[in-house]
Amino acid sequence: MMELSRLDLNDLAGQRILVAGDFMLDEYIWGQVERISPEAPVVVVNVHQETRVLGGAGNVVNNLVGLGARVTVVGLVGQDNAGALLTGELQRLGVDMAGLVVDPGRQTTRKTRVIGGNQQVVRIDRESRQPAPATFATALQERLETCLAGQDALILSDYGKGVLTGDVLHTLITAGRQRGLPIVVDPKGRDFRRYRQATVITPNRKEAAEAVGYPLAKREEVLRAGRELCLALDTEAVLITLGSEGMALIPRHGPPQEIPAQAREVFDVSGAGDTVVAVLTLALARWHDLLAAARLANLAAGIVVGKVGTAPILRSELAAALHTQAAPGPAKIISLAELLLLAPRLQAQGKRLVFTNGCFDLLHWGHIKFLEESKRLGDILIVALDADDSVRQVKGPCRPVIRQSQRAAMLAALEAVDYVTIFASEQLPDILQALKPDVLTKGSNYPAAEVKGRDVVESRGGRVVLIPITDPVSITGLIQQICQNGD
* CA–CA dist 110, 27 (Å, integer): 7
Cα separation of 156 and 166, whole Å? 12
Which residue type sits at 485?
N
CA distances from 186 to 158, 261, 354, 363 (A): 6, 19, 36, 48
Reported in sequence order, the residue ranges of 12-152 that DSSP labels E, i.e. its strands, are 16-21, 23-36, 43-56, 70-78, 96-103, 110-116, 119-126
φ and ψ at 20, to 5 degrees? -120, 135
CA atoms of 193 and 249, how far apart (whole Å): 19
Q: How many CB atoms lie within 10 A of CB 166?
A: 12
Outline where 217-351 has alpha helix (H).
Answer: 219-233, 272-287, 290-304, 315-322, 328-332, 336-348
Amino acid at 80: D
SS3 of residue 29 by DSSP: strand
Among candidate residues 22, 152, 274, 418, the one labeled active-site is 274
Tell me the CA distances in angstroms from 303 to 42, 75, 201, 317, one per residue in order.
Answer: 37, 28, 22, 8
User: Cβ(395)–Cβ(315) under 8 Å?
Assistant: no
Strands (E) in 180-272, as ranges, are 183-186, 200-201, 237-241, 247-251, 257-259
Q: Is 361 a catalytic site residue?
A: no
What is the rounded distance in angstroms from the CA atom of residue 181 to the CA atom of residue 172? 11
CA 309/CA 301 separation, integer angstroms: 13
Q: Which residues are catalytic?
A: 274
